[in-house]
Chains A and B, each alone.
Chain A
Amino acid sequence: MTTPKSGPITGKWLDIGPVTQIEPGSARTLPVAGGEEIAVFRTMQSECYALINKCPHKQGPLSQGLVHGSVVTCPLHNWNISLKTGKALGDDEGCVPTIPMRVDAGRMLLLREAAIGGGIIAPADEVA
């Protein structure tokens, strides 16, 4: 297992502030200069997930969707997207890149390279 050399701000993890900034069951956005906007979700169970803020269907802003369990329903045409994997559920097909993140002492930390690199398309099993 690789480990960071220093604290969250300059290291592998980017600190984007306290988790209390996001109302449970909703999301907020994080634009990336020269890159893709990120939507950071907080579920009713207080789990946090970060995804690129673009529905794989027609680029709907997922951050504005209804969150239920660990799924967000896109506000434009109601596709259901898994917050854990970014994959479209049910009969729909598509996948939105995710950004691994974790919460430490109430602060949200995004995996730096994924955040500025437009996320990664991968099963998010290892996302805390």
Chain B
Amino acid sequence: MISGGLASLVGVVVLVLFVGLVILYAVLGRRWPTVFRPIAGYEALGRAIERAVESGERVHLSLGTGTVTGAESAPALAGLTVLGRVAAATTMSDRPAVVTTADGAMMILAQDTLRSAYHRVGASDQYQATSARMLGPTPYSYVAGLPTLLSTEGVSVHMLIGSFGAEGALAADFGERQQKFVLAGTDDIQTQALLYVTAENALIGEEVFAGGAYLNVGSLHPASLRAQDAVRLLIIVVILIGTLVRTIMGLL
């Protein structure tokens, strides 16, 4: 067991290392661009959005059932990054993207993201406050509102990028049953297993956080992916050394 003080120190060191690596890779990235491994979900997403825009259908993004103030806000923040990109890409369509949440504060963030995205591409008139809405304040009341939204608002792309519990499987299944393009990812491991079964394109592990890098949002996104890989490698080495030392100590 390590003491609280040492744990805090380790936390600060890892954080400083992480920031340093992100800056380093952001600078290096100009000369040596990041090479991404293919993620089928993100590759298919671009084509699905193009089809939706051409056929005048809607893109729906669910930011999950987590709250802004909770520890589960990180995947929804990643979802908002994807939203900015997707909203800008769908401005050619007659029907703007629609975003749903189970939290009022998250809904306000989604509205701001939509407004900014439309403003950036000079389509501020397309912004509607009701394009981002809170479907229900509890996980299951939120999920209960999804089938009607998917069937009545002409949605053809159904993305789930946020924090979900078991209800996430139902949210993905509703999309699959209505034969929408479904891309789903979350931070909860058990829900990821459920999404692997229910969603056509499931994002596993940290793939849910990689949307910004794959959709080319900014230079810090690929840099932070490379920093993640470097820190992960470091942690694996530390774990292996710890296991080795412990085994040897046990043998002696």
Q: Do A and B bind each other?
A: no
